[in-house]
Structure 1
């Protein structure tokens, strides 16, 4: 069946609290999860942000929308109760409650549109929207991020080898490796060993070093390239290495590095641009949205 949409949750939620008693939302969520026969995996599926579970979020929005329509009310923090209007709705025995059903109520229309509306108007909302506003926002963010990553990778492919080397150094320093940028820049590129492009300190004190191979690559990087890199590490009696490419690694290459007695980290093009976006290398913020919530503790009176 999958995780129900917030609109599919509305009627079961209203029926669940139809006894006019207070209900703790945490208990309501768990009961609804059992009613919808969610699997453990579905129950623990997080939003893209990772800060809330999808089902919890959808139950929360079902509650919010029905509160705005006057079918539910909050009695105290974390508790809800059905209203007289909600009881009347249940008496009608509706087969479904969704945003279109709720649009018959003036309070809900004003909540959705932010302006006063006339009585008796029913707005034609799409019925099959399953995502909550937070899910839609998160999905849009991920789409924009993927578009940015693709454009970023395209720009990297057009740079010179020297520029790419500086980019890698700046990224690693920003991530906390190599000490200062000046120190790292002096370290990278100082070796002439085949298969090694540079050496950088693992920490500010230089207690250990990491050997780097950074290549702009057209096709997938295969096992032979990784074998040469590991061989170069053997020649330096090194135990840690990072192989960075703008393309990808074959399954054989990944399997090989997972079985060698050295710590080899593989960074492909997608991971590279993800790190660049995370650490603001070659990108800038054009707009910021802050999602806020009520701080209920603020309103507790002693």
Structure 2
């Protein structure tokens, strides 16, 4: 059965030839025309009914993006980057871990699922090893779940950025309500995006009784949030004699901005934290599959307990 690595080179060749933006379904349909495999392999499915090639194509796409060869120009679509277009594919026999590891962004990505002991063994012995050979089965599941969460977070952030500022305001409302703030959803919706008062985008109740208020700054930005932005928000809080403020952005915060916020008690939520909270509170995501790891209940076999 073809692995996700087996799909990468033919995918790159198709995309270089056509040089256009693809949806996953479009890429899958074109791949089926060039893959050297049987109809049985093309139609094979996982236990849950999903087509194996289609499923592994998603991971092929993810790995190529992490290597900087693909990018997502719009929601649910991808295309080659300048680096991907310049690759001399005629010199390649296959795309594998060794090939992808020449790209720094991919090496950073792989650190999520590789333990320090395995990395050290590779460096010291200079022999190929499995990323998982030093891990117990439960540890493998844990490491791979981190990898899945990282990719899910990236996909979520891309979707959020691709939407409108109005969508982002509603997303902030939904998240805060899911976290237990704002009283009712209607109250929270009325609070966000209404004030526009000197750097404040909204005021929301900390609890259902409205005993305390939290002042919100929500920015769907690409550029890094700097210290001046925090200073402006800090000044707006002072004007309102406010004690609590939260600055939410789809981008990131500079070191100076983070230090300034700490001194003022302002909570910062960047793009990574935002998507982490979305996953934690089930916003914009759904459970695809769950596993239970069982162990022996020793008390059940202790005669003193009978």
| TM-score normalized with structure 2 length | 0.56
Of the structure 1 ranges 184-193 and 280-289, higher mean CA displacement relative to structure 2 is found in 184-193
* Match runs of 1:75-86 below 5 Å: none
Contact persistence 2:177–2:188 (CA under 8 A): yes
TM-score, length of structure 1 as denominator length: 0.56
Q: CA RMSD in A?
A: 2.2
Partner of 1:130: 134
- Rounded to whole Å, the distance in 2 between the matches of 1:158 and 1:283 is 17
Report what 2:289 is aligned to. Answer: 287
Unaligned runs of 5+ in 1: 1-47, 49-53, 56-124
Once the two structures are superposed, the pairs formed by residues 238-253 of structure 1 within 5 Å of their partners are 238-253=242-257
- C-alpha change, 1:237 and 1:289, in structure 2 (3 Å) is same
Count of aligned residue pairs for this structure pair:
179
Partner residue of 1:147? 151
Distance 1:199 1:243 in 2: 12
Helix, strand or coil: the match of 2:204?
strand
Shift of 1:152: 0.3
Counterparts of 2:267 and 2:138, CA distance in 1? 34
After the TM superposition, which segments of 4 or more aligned residues of structure 1 sit over 3 Å from their partners?
125-128
Higher relative contact order (CA 8 A, sep 6+): 1
Deviation at 1:127, TM superposition (A): 12
Which residue of structure 1 aligns with residue 25 of structure 2?
none
Matched, 1:233 2:241: no
Q: Which runs of 5+ in 2 are unaligned?
A: 1-111, 118-128
Q: Where do 1:1-302 residues align within 5 Å?
A: 129-260=133-264, 263-301=265-303, 302=306
Q: What displacement does 1:300 show?
A: 2.5
Bigger Rg, structure 1 or 2: 1
